[in-house]
Amino acid sequence: MKRPLLITILALFILSLPLTAFAGRRDYIEEVLDYWIDYAEDEGYDVFDTDIDMIDDETVMTYTTELGRGDYLVIAEGGERIVDLDMAAWYEDDYEDGEEAFVEDQLDDNYPMLEFSLRRTETIVIEVWVHEFERREDSGYFCILIAED
């Protein structure tokens, strides 16, 4: 009688391990986002939009937002599985026409940052994509924030 109960408990424990690890990665990226929010606020920016999402090696995450005149900071960071995360921003019309981004960060790092100023209200398209994952990984969490000075 004890043996089947022990086997059942052990099986449930083993099955729950991947779920615990998955939740841990989400917790990690939430802490990363909190860090960047504090950083932006310390630099005098007001954070008005944030997101945490999964990204894979075949996906480009796109954010479209209308921004008024002012100075802006956009920061993204990849989670534990992402080695190199990149980001760029376009004016909406240029994006639709296939023009080059007006600002981009494609450095070999895990936390791209964009700083730019707008002279008038513009609709901006921001793309985030993974350039490199850890070996054999093909998806992971990332976070992004948009802040205004």
The 10 Å Cβ neighbour count of residue 47 is: 18
What is the mean pLDDT of the segment spanning 107-117?
97
Listed in sequence order, the DSSP H helices in 43-101 are: 92-96
Q: How confident is the model at residue 1 (pLDDT cuts 50, 70, 90)?
A: low
**Percent of the chain predicted with pLDDT > 70:** 84
CATH of the domain at 18: 2.60.120.380
Rounded mean pLDDT of 1-18?
47
Among 1-10, 48-57, 102-111, the range scoring the smallest mean pLDDT is: 1-10
Domain residue limits at 53: 2-148
* Single-letter residue type at 84: D
Residue 100 has pLDDT above 50, yes or no: yes
Tally the domains of the chain: 1
pLDDT over threshold 70, residue 19:
no
Would the pTM of this model clear 0.75, i.e. be above it? yes
CA distances from 120 to 48, 71, 78, 82, 117 (A): 18, 11, 31, 35, 9
- The answer on pLDDT for 2 being more than 70 is no
**Cβ partners under 8 Å of residue 25, min gap 6:** 79, 80, 81, 140, 141
CB contact at 8 A, 122 and 91: yes
Residue 20 clears pLDDT 80, i.e. is over it: no
The confidence band for 12, taking pLDDT boundaries of 50, 70 and 90, is very low
φ, ψ at 6 (rounded to 5°): -65, -40
